[in-house]
Amino acid sequence: MARIPALQWRPALTLDPASSCGSVASHPSTRAVTSEGTPTALTSTESGLIEVLMMRRESAVVSRRATAVQVWDDEADAVGSNAIDVHVGRLWARVACGIAHLDTTRGIGFRLIALSP
């Protein structure tokens, strides 16, 4: 009972209705992704990846460990193999466009950056 007042003081969790990078937009509440205005069908893993990449500030690198922890139920499966690389490659093939770029920072992780038109 003592925790209830403490929890009421916390700000309400709100998800940004849409986040975008270049011409790629993600809507976390519906898990819909559009690339250059065209809806793109993604698997649940790919949706999780795009949310993690867009959740960070532009040009911030998301480590492989952070990606595995936030997207996979058992992160050991993803970190110990090339599963992350395979899913990132598939994601990039589906949302590839000239205005946003998925960059791999060797040995560290991934980042989504917007290219100037």
In CATH, the number for domain 17-114 is 1.10.10.10
Specify which residues 25 forms β-bridges with: 20, 34
- pLDDT at site 78: 58
Q: Which residues contact 33 (CB under 8 A, 6 or more apart)?
A: 24, 25, 26, 27, 39, 40, 42, 47, 50, 95
pLDDT tens, per residue, the chain with 117 residues: 777 887 777 666 555 567 777 777 887 777 788 887 788 888 888 888 888 887 765 667 888 888 888 887 775 555 666 788 888 888 888 777 656 777 788 878 888 777 765
Record the pTM.
0.68
Name the residue ranges covered by the structural domains of the chain. Answer: 17-114
